[in-house]
Chains A and B, each alone.
Chain A
Amino acid sequence: MVWAIIAVGIISNINLMLLAKWFASPYSGKGYAGFVELFGERKVRLFSFIGMLFIFVKITVITLGYTEIIHQFVLPSIQREWLLAFLFAVGCYLAVKGMEKTIRFIFIAYLCSFWLILLYIPFFLPPIASIHDLYPIISMERDDGIWQGMLLIWASLSGPEYLICIGAWFSPRDKLLRPMAIGNALTIVEYLALFIASTLYFGPEYLRKSSYPVINMVRYLQSPIFERLDIMMICIHIFHYVFAIALLILLFYGSLRIIAGKAMKPASRSGFIASFMVLFLCMLIVYHWFWKSGTQGHFWPVLQVCFAAVSFLAVPAFMIAAVRIKGRA
C-alpha cells in the first residue's frame, strides 16, 4: 500500500502539470469570459449545472461526515442539526467576506493546523511495532481492497481541479505548478505518515476492522496537561473544513449565477444568502431522508469519492483538450 500511495501521488502530479498548462493558457485568467470564449455560453451553463451537482455532493458529504465525527467523538450531547448549522454558518461567514479573503484564509488554516502531524510521532514507535507489518510493499496478490484504497487516495488528492473556477484571481505571472506540486507532495507525505503510523500501531489485521482508524488511533494520545488529545485534534481540523466549505459555497453561488444568466452582473449579498439557504435546506433534506437512518450504507460517501475521482481525472485533461481544439480551429 505504501507504493500504491506514492504511485497515485505521482500520477496526480502529472494531472497537476496538465492543470498548470491550463493556467498558462490565455483563457484561464479571463474567468467566466474565458470559458464562454472557449465553449460558448450554452455549454458553460451546462457545465456549471454539472459542476454544481458535484459541488453539492462534496459539500454535503464533507459537512455531514465531519458533523458525524464531531458528534461521535467530541460532543455526543448536542443535536446533530445544531452542529450542522454551526459548522456551516462559520463556513458561510468566511465565504461572505469574498473570494480574495477566502483564498487568503488558507495561510491561516495551514499555520493553525500543520503542527498536528507532529502529534503522530509516538505512533511510529510503539513497543509492538514491526517493520514486517508494512509488507508486502508491492502486493502481487489479487486484492480488491487495494484498488478501492487507491481510488480513495486518488479522490482524496482531488480538489485542485476546482482551481479552474478561480483562475481570474491568480496573476498571469503566477507559476502555479510549483506550489501545487509542493502541496500535493505534502499531502502524500501526510497520507503516508498516517498510513504507516496506523499500520504500525494497530497491525494490518486489526486495521482492516476499524472504521475510523486514524481517529481511533489518536484517542490513545495524551499529554501531562490534557488527556484525550483527539478531541482537540478533531476540533482543530475545522480550520480546513471551514476553508474548503467557504470556497465550495462561493463556487456553488457562482455556478448558480451562471445558470441564471447573471454572471456578468455584480454579486449581491441577498443572492448569496439565498443560495446559502438553499444549500443548507438541501443538506438537511439529505441528512433526514438519506443519511440519518443509516439504511443507505455508504452510498453518499462512495458517490462523493467517485465524483471526486472522476472530476480530478477528467477536468484537467478536458480543459487542455478544449484549448488545443480551439487553437486548431
Chain B
Amino acid sequence: MVWNKVTNVLDRGNEDSPEKDEIPLTMDALRQILVNMSDAEVIERTALDERTITLLYIKTLIDLERLNESVIGPLSVLSDNTVCECITASSISEVTGQQKAKLLLMQGSVLVHDDRIDRWWAVSLPSSLGRSIESSDTETIILGPKDSFSEKIDENITLIRRRLPTPDLKTEQFSVGSLSKTTIVIMYMEGITNPKHVAIAREKIEAIDYDMILEASHLGFFMEDHVHSVFPQFMQTDRPDASAYYLGTGKLVIMVGGTPFVLIAPMTFFHLFHSPEDYINRWLVASFLRLVRYLSFMLSITLIPLYVALTTHHYQMVPLQILFVLLDSRSKLPFTPFWEACCMLITLEIMKEASLRMPAKSGQTLGVIGGIVIGQAAVEAGFASKVLIVLVGISAIASFLVPNYMITKANTMVQFALLILASYLGLLGVVLGIILLLIHLNGLSSLKQPYFAPVAPFFWRDWKDLFIRAPLPSLRSRPLFLNPLKKWICAAYAPVSGSSQYGLGHHRRWHYIQH
C-alpha cells in the first residue's frame, strides 16, 4: 500500500518551485554537485532483478540508522515492485527537477534512483541532532511550565499544538534566504486573528531578499515598520506557554528554523513589561509587580539624568539635609556631574558587556572588581560621588526588572540621551526628553498596528490588562487594538446569531444575563 503524502502546508517564497525548476535531473549533474563534498556519499546496489539502485545523500545531514532500516534494508530485497512501494519511510516523494533535488538533498533527504525506469525519489530522513527540550534561560519563572522552544521548528510547533489542540491553529510555511534556505512558519488562530495582520506578515516575508536569515532577530529587522528605532517591534520569546497565550489573544507567532526564539506580533510597548508569571500570580500581586516593573523602567532611564539636572541646574529643589550630603559627597570631585555620570555609566556598560562575554567561572572576579575596585575605589580616588554610585547601582538593577531583554539595551540609549538633555536644560531637558520618547513611541507601529495602544489610541477595555492585571474571570475580551475576529474570550459573552460581533449595547449584555 502506497501512502501519498497530502500536505496542507503552503510552500511560499520558495525559488525552487516546480515552475522555475525546469532543468532535468540527471545522475551526472548530481555527481557534479557533490564534488568536493567529503560528507557526500553515493551508493550503488544491484537489486535481485538486476536493476541498479543508486542512493545519494549527505551523511552529516541524515539519520544513518533510519537509512539502514527504512531504505537500505527494504531495497536489498527489492524484486518486482517499485522503489516507492518498497521503502518504508513515511515521507517519500518523486523528484524531477535539479533545483528541487539539490534543496532536498541539503535538507536531509536521500535521493534514490532506479535505472530501469530512470526515476528519482527523495526520502526525507533528516538527522534529529539537537538539544532536547530544556527550561528557558532568558525568561525564567518560578511557577508555571518549564519547557521552552528548541532549535527544531517541528518540535516547537508540537509544543504549541499540544497547548492549543484545535484545527483553527494554522501554520503557513515559507523558505527565506537564498543561501540559508531558512524555514519560516507563521502561526495564527483562524477565526480569531485578523486576516489583515496575517496578510501583512506574509507580504513582508515574501518581500525579503537576502542571502542569510539565521536568527529570529534577523527576520525581525526585515519585517519591522521602523528600522531606525531602538525599540523592538516584535516580541521575542522562547516560551511555548506565552506563545500559545498570545496566539489565543489574536496575535501571530512567527517561527524561524534553527533558533529557539519566536517572534510575536503585533505587539505594543506595554507588552514588553508583561511576564508569563503575571497570569500565574494572584491578580493583586501580579498587578503590583507589573507596576514595579513600569516604575523601575522609569527609574532606570531617569534616575541618573535627574541627579545631573538637580546638581547642575536646580540645587534649590533638593531638601537641605540631602543637599548637605550631596555637597559633602561632591566637594572634592574634579568633574562636573554630567562627566561624572557619563564615566560611571560607561564603566557600568563595560561591566555589563563583560559579564555577558566572560566565562561563568570568572563571574566572581568580575563581581569583586566591579563592586570593590570600581565602586569603592572610584569614591576614594575622588572620581565619583557616593550618591552617584548608589544611584548607578539602583538604576542598573532597575533596568533588569523588565522581562524583555531587548528593552534593557534600549534603556541605555535613552538614558544617555536624557543625560545630555539634563546637563544642558536641567529638569526641563529630562521632561523634553521623555516627551520626545513618548512622541517616538506614539509614532511606532508593529505590523502596521499602533505601538502605544491601548493608551494612544485609547481602548479603555484593554486597560484591564495594561498597568494592572485584572482577575482572569474579568478579562473577558481580547485586545481590541488587534481588531480580533472574535472579541470575547468567554463563550457566554459571544453575540447571539445574526448580531454583529462588534455591536455595542444591550443585546450582548442580555444574552450574558440569560445564560
A interface residue numbers (CB < 8 A to B): 70, 74-75, 77-78, 83, 86-87, 90, 93-94, 97, 101, 104-108, 111-112, 222, 224-228, 231-232, 235-236, 238-239, 242
Q: Is A235's CB under 8 angstroms from B427's CB?
A: yes
Are the CB atoms of B314 and A228 closer together than 8 Å?
yes
* A-contact 0/1 string along B426-469, CB 8 Å cutoff: 11101110011011001100000010100111100000000000
**Residues of chain B lying within 8 A (CB to CB) of residue A106:** 456
Residues in B neighbouring A228, C-beta threshold 8 A: 314, 316-317
**Which B residues lie within 8 Å of A77 (CB)?**
313
Candidates A108, A225, A231, A235; contact of B438 at CB < 8 Å: A108
Q: Is B368 an interface residue (CB 8 A)?
A: no
Neighbouring B residues of A105 by C-beta, 8 Å: 438-439, 442, 456
Could you tell me the distance between the alpha carbons of A97 and B450 in the complex, rounded to whole angstroms? 13
B residues neighboring A (CB under 8 Å): 313-314, 316-319, 424-428, 430-432, 435-436, 438-439, 442-443, 450, 452, 455-458
B302 to chain A, nearest CB (A): 12
> In the complex, A210→B431 CA distance in Å?
28
Q: How far is the CA of A279 from the CA of B425 in the complex (A)?
A: 23
What residues on A are CB-neighbors of B442 within 8 Å? 97, 101, 104-105, 108
Closest 3 CB pairs of A and B: A104-B456, A235-B431, A107-B456
> Residue B428 contacts which of A75, A94, A101 (CB distance < 8 angstroms)?
A75
Q: Which residues of B contact A107 (CB under 8 A)?
A: 455-458
Residue in chain A with minimal CB distance to B321: A224
Closest to B313 in A: A75
A238 touches B427 (CB 8 A): no
Give the complex CA separation of A147 and B116 in angstroms.
107
Q: Give the residues in chain A near B314, CB-CB below 8 Å.
A: 228, 231
A108 touches B456 (CB 8 A): yes
Given contacts A93-B436, A111-B455, A226-B317, contact A232 B425 (CB under 8 A): no
Determine whether the beta carbon of A236 is less than 8 Å from that of B318.
no
- B421's nearest neighbour on chain A, judged by CB, is A86
Interface centre among A70, A232, A235 (most CB of B within 10 A): A235
**Closest B residue by C-beta to A87:** B432
With a cutoff of 8 Å between Cβ atoms, the chain B residues found around residue A104 in the complex are: 442, 450, 452, 456-457
Contacts of A97 in B (CB 8 A): 439, 442-443
Within the complex, what minimum Cβ distance (angstroms) separates A228 from chain B?
Answer: 5
Q: For the complex, what is the distance from the CA of A231 to the CA of B317, rounded to whole Å?
A: 8
Main secondary structure of the interface of B (DSSP, over half): helix
Q: Nearest Cβ distance between residue B50 and chain A, in whole angstroms?
A: 75
Residues in B whose Cβ lies below 8 Å from that of A232: 317, 427
Most buried by A among B424, B427, B435, B443: B435
Taken together as a complex, chains A and B put the C-alpha atoms of A217 and B83 apart, in Å, by 93
User: Could you give 17 example pairs across A and B, Cβ below 8 Å?
Assistant: A74-B428, A75-B313, A75-B425, A78-B424, A86-B425, A87-B432, A90-B435, A101-B439, A104-B452, A104-B456, A108-B455, A111-B455, A224-B319, A226-B319, A231-B317, A235-B431, A236-B431
CA distance A75 to B318 in the complex (A): 16
A226 touching B318, Cβ below 8 Å: yes
Q: Which chain B residues border A224 with CB–CB below 8 Å?
A: 319
Cα distance, A75 to B427, chains bound together (Å) = 9
Measured CB to CB, the nearest residue on chain A to B424 is A78
Report the bound CA distance from A238 to B430 in whole Å.
11
Which of chain B's residues have a CB closer than 8 A to the CB of A75?
A: 313, 425-426, 428
Nearest-CB residue, chain A, relative to B439: A94
Which residue of chain A lies nearest to B450 when distances are taken between CB atoms in the complex? A104
Residues of A near B428 (CB, < 8 A) are 70, 74-75, 83, 86, 235, 238
Complex Cα spacing A228 to B426, Å: 14
Per the bound structure, the CA–CA distance linking A115 and B458 in Å amounts to: 18
Q: Are B317 and A90 in contact (CB under 8 A)?
A: no
Minimum Cβ distance to chain B for residue A17 (Å):
24
Residue from B319, B424, B428, B430 whose CB has the most chain A CB atoms within 10 Å: B428
| Distance between B154 CB and nearest chain A CB, rounded to angstroms | 42
Q: A104-B442, A105-B442 are in contact. List 10 more A-B contacts (CB 8 A).
A: A74-B428, A75-B426, A93-B436, A97-B439, A104-B452, A108-B438, A108-B452, A226-B319, A231-B317, A236-B431
User: Measured between alpha carbons, how far is A86 from B425 in the docked complex, in Å?
Assistant: 10
Which of B317, B424, B432 is the one whose CB lies under 8 Å from A227? B317
B427 x A86 contact (CB < 8 A) = no
Which of chain B's residues have a CB closer than 8 A to the CB of A226? 317-319
Chain B: minimal CB distance from A218 (Å): 13
Nearest chain A residue, comparing its CB with the CB of B314: A231
Q: Across the interface, which residues of B come within 8 angstroms of A225, CB to CB?
A: 319
Min C-beta distance of A12 to chain B, whole Å: 24
Cα distance A17–B432 in the bound complex, in angstroms:
36
Residues of chain A within 8 A of B455, CB atoms compared: 107-108, 111
- In the complex, A74 Cα to B428 Cα: how many Å? 8
Q: How far is the CA of A114 from the CA of B442 in the complex (A)?
A: 19
Query: Does A101 lie within 8 Å of B443, measured CB to CB?
Result: yes
The chain B residue with its CB closest to the CB of A77 is B313
Candidate in B316, B431, B442 with the most chain A CB atoms within 10 angstroms:
B431
- Measured between beta carbons, the chain B residues less than 8 angstroms from A70 are 428
Interface centre among A70, A78, A90, A104 (most CB of B within 10 A): A104
Output the least CB separation between A224 and chain B (Å): 7
Inter-chain CA distance A48–B427, complex, in Å, is: 38
Residues on A with C-beta less than 8 A from B427 are 74, 231-232, 235
- A39 to B431 Cα, complex, angstroms: 44
